[in-house]
Copies of this chain bind each other. A is one copy, B any other.
Amino acid sequence: MAGTATTRRSRITPEREAELYEAVLDLLREVGYDSLTMDAVAARTRSSKATLYRQWGGKAELVARAIRHHKPVDVFNVDTGSLRGDLQAMATRQDDCEMEQNSSLMRALGTAVHAHPDLLAALREWLIEPELEELGQVVQRAVDRGEVRADNAAIGYVLHMIIGAFVARTMIDDEPPTQAFLSSYIDAVVLPALVA
């Protein structure tokens, strides 16, 4: 799916697209979703607004795809041979700095989605669905290996467990999520629930 963004319209090079996404994320951190305008993106990236709208349709999709580009869930195709190995690999593919940046973006967008249903739809398309699909593959392999029962009720909640820990970490412990935290949470919560 990573190729979709560049094949959809051929007018923007991958390098240019990456630059543009970085600028969108910078602006998002600086001013938040509500105050982010296509004018500001156009000015910051020296693009025309017409190009932005032609390529991305609107702000919601541009933001969702900028985050997706920054956090390419589909590059994960590590198959370690065990459920624990796969989940731990997922937990450590972002370093602590990237994790904190993503966690702060997610919190900011978590508020914005309520006022902007198109943002929620775009985030679901570009981030949530691919994450669910990826986790679904990891769990399916575990079911096939006999590690997880096919009817285990926690299977439907794997992403809830992981995203939830991410989001709750700062509020409960006043500390950002880190690799060490996520790794410990997977061993303490996610694995026991899945292999119960």
Known contacts A111-B107, A111-B108, A167-B110; decide if A161 and B189 are in contact (CB<8 Å).
Answer: yes
Q: Which residues of chain A from 75 to 115 have any CB-CB distance to chain B below 8 Å in the complex? A: 104, 107-108, 110-111, 113-114
Q: Tell me whether A123 is interfacial, beta carbon within 8 Å.
A: yes
- Whether the Cβ atoms of B157 and A189 lie closer than 8 Å is yes
Known contacts A172-B128, A172-B160; decide if A154 and B189 are in contact (CB<8 Å).
Answer: yes
Q: Across the interface, which residues of B come within 8 angstroms of A169, CB to CB?
A: 160
Q: Tell me whether A165 is interfacial, beta carbon within 8 Å.
A: yes
A11 → chain B closest CB, angstroms: 32
Q: Across the interface, which residues of B come within 8 angstroms of A171, CB to CB?
A: 110, 113, 120, 123, 128, 163
A148 → chain B closest CB, angstroms: 12
Q: Across the interface, which residues of B come within 8 angstroms of A154, CB to CB?
A: 188-189, 192
CA distance A104 to B189 in the complex (A): 26
| Nearest-neighbor residue (CB-CB) of A131 within chain B | B172
- Whether the Cβ atoms of A172 and B163 lie closer than 8 Å is yes
- Whether the Cβ atoms of A159 and B172 lie closer than 8 Å is yes
A164 partner, pick from B123, B153, B161, beta carbons under 8 A: B161
Q: Across the interface, which residues of B come within 8 angstroms of A188, CB to CB?
A: 152-154, 156-157, 193
Q: Which residues of chain A from 154 to 180 have any CB-CB distance to chain B below 8 Å in the complex? A: 154, 156-157, 159-161, 163-172, 174
Starting from the known contacts A110-B111, A113-B170, A156-B188, 12 additional A-B residue pairs (CB-CB under 8 Å) come to A107-B111, A113-B171, A128-B172, A152-B188, A157-B188, A160-B169, A161-B164, A167-B167, A167-B168, A189-B193, A192-B192, A193-B193
Chain A positions near chain B (C-beta within 8 angstroms): 104, 107-108, 110-111, 113-114, 120, 123-124, 128, 132, 152-154, 156-157, 159-161, 163-172, 174, 184-185, 187-189, 192-193, 196
Q: Which 6 A-B pairs have the closest CB atoms?
A: A164-B164, A192-B196, A153-B188, A111-B111, A163-B168, A164-B168
